[in-house]
Amino acid sequence: MKRVKLVKKSPRKQVGTIAILIGLLAVVILLIDILKIGNDEGRWIFLELNNIRNILNQVAINAVIAFGMTLVILVNGIDLSVGSIVALSGVVLGIVFIDLKVPLLLSYLIVLIIGAITGLANGLLVTKIKLPPFIVTLGSYQIYRGFAFLSVNGQAKFTADESFKIVGNHFLFSAIPISILVMLFFFLLFYFFMAKTSYGRKFYLVGQNEVAAMYSGVNIDITRIIAYTSIGVASAMGGIMLASRLGSGSPNVGVGYELDAIAAVVVGGTSFAGGIGTIQGTLVGVLILGIINNSLNLLGVSPFSQQVARGLIILFAVVLDSTKKSR
């Protein structure tokens, strides 16, 4: 069987990335003007270094999860179980570190392995049993959340150990939150895998045309399994970061995280139809949503109205994506 050589990123995709960055700049400028109207001091508060650092710190968990979600959506998948994996990971971290006294780094490794297993299970059900991703991950959403509650009998695991809170609450050189560094590490990891390796380009081919991918020698099932395993690991890291930030592993956290991740991916330019999107676009999408949430908070907008605003943004992004495809 003749193999077709996979092409590298086209100039069109590079132009798309530049357009996304310009869009982020436009959003920032617009919000500064809105803050100026709504609050004389709002735009100056918005531009303060502490506020910018706060935005990055707040979006760090969603960004890590969204990077994994990008891979899944690129191959025509979806994962609704990430919030439950976040909760389960935090609970496991609490049990392993607090109850079993396992060293912190080894505890992290155990949690990441469990996250990989949860994602792998989803991927196998989707690829080998050929179940719809929506149904598979909706079921695993309930299963993983149930395991989280059963593991601790519904009670959170608290600790006063400061080492437990390093990832979520500590700073490097008393200036940069560790969570931001974790976000940047995962961004670089996913970016170089998707943009700089030949295997990363296979995700685009699977999402664009499975038949072409098959004739190019791409193992479609393995590619999808890698995508779901990756988001399992990313969600587990999100669970570690959240548990560290809260100082506890709780089965109640992570609700709605899957929607936040999907929103960031779509706003960042990844197509729900698969095959189109970038990790840097997802990062921009995360920042856009974070900036909007921060701005609405500075304007004193209620959380309920903010939910409406986020929903409208997602709908607008999906309509825009559909319009581009129809053209």
Q: What is the pLDDT of residues 249-274, one digit of tens each?
A: 999 999 989 999 999 999 888 988 88
Sign of CA pseudo-dihedral 282, 288, 292, 298: positive
Q: Which tokens belong to 195?
A: 């943009």
Helices 104-127, 220-246: inter-axial angle, 10-degree rounding:
140
Minimum mean pLDDT among 28-37, 62-71, 175-184, 242-251: which range?
Answer: 28-37
Q: Which residue has the higher pLDDT, 24 or 61?
A: 61
pLDDT at 322 exceeding the cut of 80: no
Read off the pLDDT of residues 58-82 as tens digits, 9 standing for 90 and up: 999 999 999 999 999 999 999 999 9
What pLDDT does 136 receive? 97
What pLDDT does 47 receive? 61
Residue with tokens 């899944």: 72
DSSP string, 202-230: HHHHHHH-HHHHHHTT--HHHHHHHHHHH
Helices 49-74, 279-298: inter-axial angle, 10-degree rounding:
140
Q: What is the mean pLDDT of the chain?
A: 85
The answer to whether 245 touches 165, Cβ cutoff 8 Å, is yes
138 burial type by CB count under 10 A (0-12 exposed, 13-18 middle, 19+ buried): middle
Q: Strand 176-177 vs strand 171-172: parallel, antiparallel, or unpaired?
A: antiparallel
pLDDT above 70: percentage of residues in the chain:
84
pLDDT at 219 exceeding the cut of 90: yes
Q: 222 falls in which pLDDT band (50, 70, 90)?
A: very high
pLDDT above 90: percentage of residues in the chain:
57
Residue type, 92: V
Q: 31 falls in which pLDDT band (50, 70, 90)?
A: low
How far is it, in rounded angstroms, from Cα 122 to Cα 269?
25
Tell me what the mean pLDDT of segment 107-131 comes to: 97
What pLDDT does 269 receive? 86
How far is it, in rounded angstroms, from Cα 281 to Cα 67?
10
Tell me what the mean pLDDT of segment 21-38 comes to: 54
Compute the C-alpha angle 216/191/46, nearest 5°: 145
Minimum mean pLDDT among 145-149, 174-178, 236-240: which range?
Answer: 174-178
Q: 298 falls in which pLDDT band (50, 70, 90)?
A: confident
Count, in order, helices (H) and strands (E) of the chain: 14, 4
pLDDT at 16 exceeding the cut of 80: no
Tell me what the mean pLDDT of segment 168-177 comes to: 85
Residue with tokens 């060293």: 103
Please compute Rg for the chain using Cα positions: 20
SS (H, E, C) 161-202: CHHHHHHHHCEECCCEEHHHHHHHHHHHHHHHHHHHCHHHHH
What pLDDT does 39 receive? 53
Q: 293 falls in which pLDDT band (50, 70, 90)?
A: confident
pLDDT at 206 exceeding the cut of 80: yes
- Which of 214, 211, 173, 279 is closest to 3 using CA atoms? 214
What pLDDT does 23 receive? 56
How many CA atoms within 13 Å lie on the side-chain side of 92?
A: 26
> Which residues lie closer than 8 Å to 295 by C-beta, 6 or more apart?
31, 34, 35, 42, 46
How far is it, in rounded angstroms, from Cα 126 to Cα 80?
13
Q: 191 falls in which pLDDT band (50, 70, 90)?
A: very high
Instruction: Give Dmax (Cα) for the chain.
Output: 67
